[in-house]
Amino acid sequence: MGQTLARDANHAHLGYQAEMLSRGLQDRLDQRFAALKHLAGQLGDESGEPAVEQLRANRSLLAHFEGVMVSDAEGRVVADLPEVPGRVGLETAHTEYFQMLRHSPWPYVSRPFVGRASGEPLVLMLVPRFTGEGEFAGVVGGMLNLAHGQFFRSIASLSFEHQGHVAIFTAEGEPLFVPGGLAGAVDDLSRLDPPDFQLALDGWQGETRHELQGDTLLVAYRQVWDADWVVAMMMPGRSVLAPLQAFLKQLWWTWLVAALLLLALTRWWVGRQLAPLHRLEGQIGEVSAGKRQRLLLSTDLQELRQVSATFNRLEQERSEALHRLREREAFLNAVLGSTPTGMFVANLEGEITYLNPALVAMLGLAPDTTTAAVLERVHEDDREGALDLWQHALARRDDFLRQLRMHDARGELLWLEVHASPVGGGEAPLGIVGVVKDITERRHEEALRRWEAEHDPLTGLLNRRGFERRLEEALADFTKTGAPSALILFDLDHFKSVNDNGGHALGDELLRRVAQVVAWEVRRSDHLARQGGDEFGLLLPSCTLSQARTIAETVRKVVSQVSVSHEGREYFVTASIGLTVFQEGDDAIETVLARADAASYASKRQGRNGVVVHAEEA
């Protein structure tokens, strides 16, 4: 009870600390983005010496950044501050941040990278700059040094009572800021990848507890949305019980003296009670070692004589049963050795005792390979599930039937079907016999058919069938747990004129480009589909209505920027977007689809190129 109250109190405190830190980081980012936007407005489309002079006139930016750089529309660095040899002239067009800003008007925070000129680990805060006509003219970027920069060095001093510390990750799970005291915990967190950590990377905020290498870690997760960062405020579990442990430490000597006295008293009493049994113990040991066949105990104690007689009878029965088992095992080995099908034998504890020649050849194993070595060959994603099912089958004496992946001696991956059954022997089974079939080719064909059945061949997105299956799963999860989810349906405005004037090949190219830009903008957990023609669907699991509005507006903007050209003419489309969220009483996906579809038609009636939330939720 006390431990639970302590953990709850510390969870609440961690959540408060994490919330304040995430808001502070957001405010710092907003200040820096505002400074960069101001500089981008002053620069316009200038490059060369004018850009250098303009940058020198804004040296106050070095209070926010370790460095500032300006690139032109082709991604070439044209000015930097302070001037670092080799930085001007660097090509950045291939970088992920330049590609992102080329197609988006929004500020962006890059993933961590090592600067080619400085050799330091950096994060770039970037804003696009535009010409007077609104054309993309390059980027302005502020550099934050992960190792020595003021932005992250100020966080290193943040901690609170009981050894709590803060770490920052990117949404891809890359450690961005890790103080020395948390390095081991962060390494364990990245390696073990607990479910709540993955939820935080996907946008969840809250408090949780992780078990890492036997240690408990209390963690509060918060999001820094503009940078796509995850703030993790951590407290070692040992700090939660520190006051109680200090009290218990004071009682250590009292416990030690009491335990020693009790141990001495117990030993004296047990010694008196067990003295008559020492000789019986010695003879039983000799029987176990094969030095005698039965007990021959001379004693006046009736109870010991009864124990001796019972033991002799059981030993005789055991020897006879063992003899019968060996005979049956020899017969079974002969049968298994002659079959062309891969087969194995295991005991009732699940340890493999025999591999027939066909299975040895199939997997490239030695005939005396241990169970542990066989398990090592099983693909890591299948190993735990297969082992759990194997142990369950052993405990219930049921058949084991499973398809799994396994590496052969050359390292090639095989799909195998394993079917193992207990072999009856009267009241109890004698062991387990398994059959192993190579189904690799069949599985590859099935996987290809499954993918083709649920994906659109033009865009590579989910098709209507695959999308509706995932929608069914999301609705079932909502009904069971109440987790919020949203559905977006949209089609392309003016798409018919692209097909009519440019032909279906041009229309297909436009559909592919729309699919690419929308897929770039949504989260990893979202499901994007082309349902047919120019109709698209987007399922947003674990997403509130407010978050869904933001995503829908982003989709609308990026679609409006997509274009294709044909015979000197450039074609644009827009999106009429309908949005709804799962509601109490939704018992079929058709209900949800109908609401989103109605909202999409409402968007068209209102003039297209808009986002409409279903009237019941607006």
Residue 153: predicted pLDDT: 73
- Residues 373 and 433 reside in one and the same domain: yes
pLDDT single digits (tens) 339-373: 788 888 898 888 988 888 888 888 888 888 888 88
Mean local confidence (pLDDT), 216-238: 84
Of 208, 242, 276, which residue constitutes the final position of a domain?
242
Between 257 and 157, where is the model more confident? Answer: 257
Residue 161: predicted pLDDT: 46
- Residues 52 and 113 reside in one and the same domain: yes
pLDDT single digits (tens) 245-255: 655 566 677 77
Neighbours of 239 (CB within 10 A): 17
- Residues 479 and 581 reside in one and the same domain: yes
pLDDT single digits (tens) 262-310: 888 888 777 665 666 667 677 677 777 777 777 776 666 677 677 777 8
Here the CATH number for the domain that contains residue 103 is 3.30.450.20
Is residue 448 included in any domain, yes or no? no
Q: By C-alpha distance, which of 226, 177, 233 is closest to 200?
A: 233
pLDDT single digits (tens) 548-597: 999 999 999 999 999 999 888 999 999 999 999 999 889 899 999 999 99
The pLDDT mean for the chain works out to 84
Is residue 32 included in any domain, yes or no? no
Is residue 206 included in any domain, yes or no? yes
Residue 273: predicted pLDDT: 58
pLDDT single digits (tens) 24-49: 888 888 988 898 888 888 887 787 78
**What percent of the chain has pLDDT above 90?**
25
Q: List the domain range (segments joined by +) for residue 83.
A: 44-145
Of 390, 419, 443, which residue constitutes the final position of a domain?
443
- Residues 567 and 518 reside in one and the same domain: yes
- Residues 370 and 316 reside in one and the same domain: no
Of 110, 145, 180, which residue constitutes the final position of a domain?
145
Is residue 539 included in any domain, yes or no? yes
Q: How confident is the model at residue 183 (pLDDT cuts 50, 70, 90)?
A: confident
- Residues 89 and 235 reside in one and the same domain: no
Is residue 154 included in any domain, yes or no? no
pLDDT single digits (tens) 91-128: 988 888 888 888 888 898 988 888 877 788 888 999 99
Mean local confidence (pLDDT), 448-470: 89
Give the number of domains in the chain.
5
- Residues 388 and 501 reside in one and the same domain: no
Which residues sit opposite 423 in a β-bridge?
431
Cβ atoms of 537 and 489 within 8 Å: the answer is: yes
Give dist(CA 354, CA 485) in Å, integer.
52
- Residues 77 and 215 reside in one and the same domain: no
Residue 195: predicted pLDDT: 85
Residue 243, pLDDT > 80, answer no
The C-alpha torsion from 241 through 246 and 251 to 253, rounded to 10°, is: 120
Is residue 411 included in any domain, yes or no? yes
- Residues 72 and 118 reside in one and the same domain: yes
- Residues 200 and 294 reside in one and the same domain: no
Residue 459, pLDDT > 60, answer yes
- Residues 429 and 497 reside in one and the same domain: no
Between 511 and 268, where is the model more confident? Answer: 511
Q: What is the DSSP string of 172-234?
A: TS-EEE--GGGHHHHHHHHHH--HHHHHHHTT--EEEEEEETTEEEEEEEEEEGGGTEEEEEE
- Residues 293 and 362 reside in one and the same domain: no
Least confident of 236-240, 363-367, 466-470: 236-240
Residue 7: predicted pLDDT: 66
Is residue 153 included in any domain, yes or no? no
Least confident of 411-425, 508-522, 553-567: 411-425
Is residue 150 included in any domain, yes or no? no
Residue 180: predicted pLDDT: 67
